[in-house]
Amino acid sequence: MSDLLAARSQMAVSLAFHIVFAVAGIAMPVLMAIAEGLWLIRGGPVHLELARRWARGTAILFAVGAVSGTVLSFELGLLWPRFMAFAGPIIGMPFSLEGFAFFLEATFLGIYLYGWERVPRVAHWLAGVGVAVSGAASGLFVLTANSWMNHPAGFRLVAGRVVDVSPWAAMFHAGWPVECVHMMLAAYLCLGFAVAAIHARELLRGGRNLFHERALSIALVVGGVAAVLQPVSGDASAKLAARTQPAKLAAMEGQFRSQPFAPLRLGGLPDEASGRTRGAIEIPGALSWLAYGDPRATVRGIEDWPRDERPPVAVVHVAFQIMVGSGVTLLALALAALSRRRRLFESRGLLRALSILGWLGFVALEAGWTVTEVGRQPWIVYRIVRTADSVTPMPNLIAPFLLFTGLYVFLGAIVFVLLRRHVFASPRMPA
């Protein structure tokens, strides 16, 4: 394994791990604050117990997210020092703001977790809302920095040196609203459905139980609203890629040669040696229409770019298919649940589907992340800095890669077991 590949793999593992907890840190507080809000309005023990259980879950997930995020902020320098020397000043601004948003989130969370009987009820609920809002803000700031790598702006290059840096222009570049909305919706979508999956499973195992029914309802509302909005945002994201990163779009769609009336390919496996995508269901003209609003529009194929400027087509295309397929499945689940309303709890088939397919949100999340990151390759800053030129000169990078992979696999397993046993399980009944 080359050092570059080891560095990329370590970054991929770190991000794939952190993104799960980051998403939980953004969306869990929303569930928790909704449950407590309902308790404030309606009273009764169920919503209070839900808020407390979800708060415990948030505490664990947030803690792991905080430390894995710290690792990432250092890894930028440990693995990509030359990228950071270049990009640090340009995108430092959103990172500084993110620091504060994260700070606020941690502060409010401290008040929320330990303040149940130390602060007034409404102040406690407001602290929960504060966690949710600052969590969303912190996510948004990180996303503006990340999407800047796709849409570098706010500086000029003169003889290889960065001049005329404008941190605001870098932060509010052309792509930020589209990319940020897509990822924020993804956070609510995948966490809402994952929580729904857990409570659906408990309902299947233990029979009717008000605790899990209320939990399922709240989680499904949050996840379902996001699932309905996500296709709109996804369409905007693809149109943005068509405009600003046509090579990424070509890889997403397995489009090798430029052509008008380009077909939309469902499934299929791109073969880079022969320059064809095999086994896909093709809808003629649909890609041209989706990307440019005109079925006659020409979509550029990946072969338009020199070999050393192409992203790996197969990985990006397959990841994209997985993401879209998962998203569509979740949308269907949301609509099915909506059509059943309260009869949902009696419908074992739908509960079973939810308990299994609800996890697809996280599959879509990781796949979508793969699309945007691998689709940008070989660039770390699109068309400006290559990933290969940014890596640290440090040798034996396979060692830290294996170290962090082992650590994260271990922690991930522990978190999963703890959450299942102690947060989402049915409340103990008095003997």
Partner 1 sequence: MSPAAIVACALIVSLVLYALGAGADFGGGVWDLFASGPRAARQRETITHAIGPIWEANHVWLILAVVLLFSCFPSAFAAVGTALHIPITVLLVGIVLRGSAFAFRSYGLEPGEAQARWGRVFALASLVSPLMLGVTLGAIASGSLTIDPVTRLVRTDFISAWCAAFPFAVGFLALALFAYLAAVYLTLETEDADLRGDFRRRALVAWEAAALVGILALVLARKGAPAIYAGLLGRPWLLAGNTLVSIAALQALARRRYPAARVLAALQVAATVAGWGLAQYPALVPPDLTITNAAAPEPVLRAVLGALLAGAVLLLPALFYLFRVFKGGRSMPIESMRKHVPEHVDPLF
Please give the Cα distance from 201 to 424 (Å, whole number). Answer: 10
Say if CB 82 and CB 390 are below 8 A apart. Answer: yes
- Can you tell me which of 5, 70, 352, 416 binds partner 1, judged by CB under 8 A? 70
Q: Does 429 bind partner 1 (CB under 8 A)?
A: yes
**Do 313 and 274 form a contact (C-beta atoms < 8 A)?**
no
* Least Å from the CB of residue 134 to partner 1: 9
Task: Closer to partner 1 by CB, 92 or 285: give it.
Answer: 92
Among residue numbers 250 through 279, which ones bind partner 1 (CB under 8 A)?
Answer: none
> Distance between CA atoms of 189 and 362, rounded to whole angstroms?
9
**By the rule CB under 8 A, 156 interacts with partner 1:** no
Distance linking the first and last C-alpha atoms of the chain: 58
Stretch that binds partner 1, among 74-82, 235-243, 277-285, 317-325 (CB under 8 A): 74-82
* 348 membership: H or E segment, kind and range: helix 348-357
Query: Contact letters (x/-) for partner 1, 6-45, by CB under 8 A?
Result: ---------------------------------------x
Which residues from 79-98 bind partner 1, rule CB under 8 A? 81-82, 84-86, 88-93, 95-98
Residue type, 173: H
Residues 6+ apart with CB under 8 A from 247: 300, 302, 304, 305, 309, 310, 311, 375
Binding part of the chain for partner 1, among 55-63, 175-183, 247-255, 333-341 by CB under 8 A, reads 55-63
Measured between alpha carbons, how far is 212 from 50 in angstroms, rounded to an integer? Answer: 9
Whole-angstrom Cα distance, residue 354 to residue 360?
A: 10
In the bound complex, what is the minimum distance in angstroms from residue 79's beta carbon to partner 1?
8
Q: How far is the CB of 352 from partner 1 (least distance, A)?
A: 23
- DSSP class of residue 267? S
Question: Quick one: 228 or 411, whose CB is closer to partner 1?
Answer: 411
Given the complex with partner 1, which of 91 and 291 has the nearer CB atom? 91
Token reading at 122: 């409404």
Identity of the residue, 72 or 221, whose beta carbon is nearer to partner 1 in the bound complex: 72
Q: Does 130 bind partner 1 (CB under 8 A)?
A: yes
Q: Which is nearer to partner 1, 53 or 310 (CB)?
A: 53
Spatial contact of 115 and 127, defined as CB atoms under 8 Å apart: yes
Q: For residue 152, what is the enclosing H or E element?
A: none
Q: Is 231 in the site for partner 1 (CB under 8 A)?
A: no
For partner 1, the closer of residues 188 and 211 by Cβ is: 211
Among residues 16, 40, 63, 402, which is the contact residue for partner 1, using CB under 8 A?
A: 63
Please select the residue that binds partner 1; options are 6, 27, 60, 183, rule is CB under 8 A: 60
Cα–Cα distance list, 61 to 39, 42, 259, 292 (Å): 23, 28, 47, 41
By CB under 8 A, the residues from 366 to 425 that bind partner 1 are 392-395, 400, 403-404, 407, 411, 414-415, 418-419, 422-423
What number of other Cβ atoms are within 10 A of residue 381's Cβ?
A: 20
Residue 88 tokens, joined: 């640090």
Write down the least CB distance from residue 228 to partner 1, Å: 32
Look at residue 120 and give its three-state secondary structure.
coil
Q: How many residues bind partner 1 (CB under 8 A)?
A: 86
Which helix or strand (DSSP H or E) is residue 390 part of?
none
Q: Residue 256 in 3-state DSSP?
A: coil
Q: Work out whether 204 is an interface residue with partner 1 (CB under 8 A).
A: no
In the complex, minimum distance from the CB of residue 220 to partner 1, in angstroms, rounded to a whole number? 21
Closest CA to 263 of 320, 301, 237: 301
383-402 burial, b for 16+ CB within 10 Å, e for fewer?
eebbbeebbbeeeebbebbe
Assess 296 for contact with partner 1 (CB under 8 A): no
| Residue 177 contacts partner 1 per CB under 8 A | no
Distance from C-alpha of 226 to C-alpha of 184, rounded to nearest angstrom: 9
Q: How far is the CB of 360 from partner 1 (least distance, A)?
A: 26
Does position 207 bind partner 1 by CB under 8 A?
no
Which CB atom, from 42 or from 307, has the smaller least distance to partner 1? 42
Closer CB to partner 1, residue 48 or residue 328?
Answer: 48
- What track of x and - describes contact with partner 1 for positions 106 through 125 (by CB under 8 A)? xxxxxx-xxxxxxx------
Q: Among 53-61, 172-180, 300-308, 362-370, which window interacts with partner 1 (CB under 8 A)? A: 53-61
